[in-house]
Structure formats: C-alpha cells, structure tokens
Amino acid sequence: MPKEKIKVALVGFGSGGAIYHAPLLASLDSYDLTAIVTSNTDRKALAASLYPESEIFANLDSLLQALPRLGIDLAVISTVNSAHAENAIRCLQAGLHVVVDKPFALSRKQAESVIDIAKSNELVVLPYHNRRYDSDFLTVKKLLEEDREKLGKIKSITSRIERYREKPKPGGWRETTKQQEGGGTLYDLGSHLIDQAIALYGAPQAVRASVKQIRGLGTDDDVSLTLVYDGLDYNIKASMVCPNPGPRFEIIGDALYIKEKGCPQEDMLRAGMDPNHTHYGLEKPEDWGYIRPAEGSEIEARKPYETVAAGNWQNYYKQLAAHLEAPKSAPPPVPVEDALIGLSIIEEALQHGQN
C-alpha cells in the first residue's frame, strides 16, 4: 500500500475492540487508528479519552459516509457476533480491507459470501485469531515441530480454556445470546481453540462433540470436542462451568508435557499495560510448562520446558501490514481459508453434539 500508515476504522468498542484491538493498533507505527465506531455513550467517552486523535462515530452508516474525507484503508470488525458478516460485507463494498473478529461468520456459507465479495473487489478479508500468537501456543508449536523427540509418539493433545461462573458476568452477552445469533461458548472460547488445532494440523478427519447447556441461559456453556487426525486425538475443552480447570495444554506421548497456565497477555491488557512495555507478554519461569515421563508422577522427574518467547498479539497486525504492502510475497497472519475449516467444525459440533 502506498501510504506510510494504514488508516484503520475500529468498528465496535466493547471488550473486544477496547482490549484486543485498539491498544495493539495504537502501539504500532504502521497503523493510524483514525476512527472508532460505537453507539454506547460510555464507550464513546472512553474511546475519546484513550484515543483523542481518533474520530468517534455512532454507527457504521456515518463512518461509511465519511470515508472520502478520512481515507480509511482497513476496517476491523469487533461488533456482536451476529453482525460480523453483514458489517464485513458493507465495509468491503465500500472499498476497505477487512479484519473480522472471531467468529468470522455464523456459518461456512455466510463466510464464503464474505470471501467472494472480497475477491470480486480485489480486497483482503481475514479472520482475527490472535491466539496463534499466545506464548503457550507458540511453545507447543515449537515442541511439536522442533523438539518432538522429547515426547516420542504422541497419542493425544488436550487444549483447555475452562472457567467457572455460576451466573454470567454483567454485560456478558456471549453467555446469554442464542447460538443462532452467535452466542455461547463454542463460538466464543471454542473458536480460539479450534483455530489453534487447525494451525497445527489443518482440517480433521472427523469431529466428535458434546455441546451442553448447564446453567439454563439459553445457549451452550460447556463444550468438549475431539478432532480426529491420523493417529492423534486433539481434544478441546471450553467451559464456563468448570469449578476445577485443568491444564491449559496437556500432551500425552511416551512422555508428558503439561502447561498449567495460559498466556498472560489478556490480563496485562486488561490492567492497562502498553503492548510496547518490555515485560509485555512475558511469562514468569514458574509458569513454564514441564515434561515428565509418562509413567510415574514424581515431582523431581519434571523437567521445565522454557516458554519460547513472549506472547505478542502485535505480531498479528505486524504480519497483516506486511501482507497489505506485498500480498504476493508476505503471507497473511491467518489464511482466510482456515476460517472456513473452523466454521465447518463448529457447524458439525452443533449438528451432532448438542445435548
């Protein structure tokens, strides 16, 4: 792209936009957070205080009308899930490249329509799967690709994000919105974990699923999936009703790898840490995973396996900037085709796994 900075419109300023997008975009020299769209009065005030150089719009219509004046290049969609595809299409039709927060759409068919419009307009549209840049996932990726001999023959991988809330948190629309409108744990936490499996192994050969409603809130809150690959079960557990959460990652082979805690980035951003801070994304050594023999559980047999690097969601946007500059030579941070695989898995889980 010819401009020195990529001008961005952030569409949505709830927890997604305010925590997972705006701080990253504002911290990078390659981006200019030109506009923020939110209809909520309190969020307008917050956005204006945090990003005084950004123009605040009450809705997408008013933003699109101002495009000739603003010169926006990229729209980042972080609205309610049910509006992701519609808002992406409107921005693409207005000539903008688009990043769509997870879930990319509510169905594979819907996602294909978005991608077709992007292709017909020669624009980039990509899913936002920032957790490919988590410290725990990057460590597992290195272990599986470079240090696999430490584990021997791998039989199963279990990836978890488990929480416990007797009642949904205030404003937690994902926990009370119907599945048909993109609510529930499968579309939320499940989207992250499914994408990480796709990043490692691609499309599974089969999917087994259990999708439950435990709290009676009208949408799923406890999900267990098994993605079946050749000789390997990749287990996914995403729950809002687990009083005793298990390890973030557990790999069973001839030896075991256990990673109890996940990446610290979310907590750091919620606490207001600048993504450019030298400690951003760094794990404490006591939070590293460990490898131990498959038989026996003696603590002294544990061998720490160092986390490879700081988690850094900035790298998604750094790679996106390179891709927009040179799409043929710089790969996208997440291939849009992977979003189609993920939605196919979600659809199969909803079709066969609900109980």
* pTM to 2 decimal places: 0.95
Burial of 188 (0-12, 13-18, 19+ CB in 10 A): buried
pLDDT surpasses 50 at 1: no
Task: Say what the pLDDT of residue 3 is.
Answer: 58
Instruction: Please state the separation of Cα 84 from the chain's center in Å.
Output: 14
Q: In 3-state terms, what secondary structure has residue 348?
A: helix
Single-letter amino acid, residue 294: A
Average pLDDT over residues 267-281: 96
- Give 15-44 pLDDT, tens digit per residue: 999 999 999 999 999 999 999 999 999 999
Percentage of the chain with pLDDT > 90?
A: 90
Secondary structure E strands in the chain:
6-11, 31-37, 55-57, 74-77, 97-101, 125-128, 156-162, 206-212, 222-229, 232-239, 249-252, 255-259, 289-293, 303-305
| Closest C-alpha among 77, 136, 138 to residue 102 | 77
Q: In the chain, what are the domain boundaries?
A: 6-128+315-332, 132-311
DSSP string, 174-216: GGTS-GGGT-STIIIIIHHHHHHHHHHH-S-SEEEEEEE--S-
Q: 36 - beta bridge partners?
A: 10, 56
pLDDT surpasses 70 at 297: no
Single-letter amino acid, residue 150: K
Which helix (DSSP H) or strand (DSSP E) does residue 44 occupy?
Answer: helix 41-50
CA geometry: angle 335, 338, 341, nearest 5 deg: 165
Residue position matching structure tokens 């690959």? 229
pLDDT surpasses 90 at 271: yes
- Give 53-104 pLDDT, tens digit per residue: 999 999 999 999 999 999 999 999 999 999 999 999 999 999 999 999 999 9
What is 132-311's CATH number, 3.40.50.150, 3.30.360.10, 3.40.50.11540, 3.40.50.10490?
Answer: 3.30.360.10
- The CATH fold of domain 6-128+315-332: Rossmann fold (3.40.50)
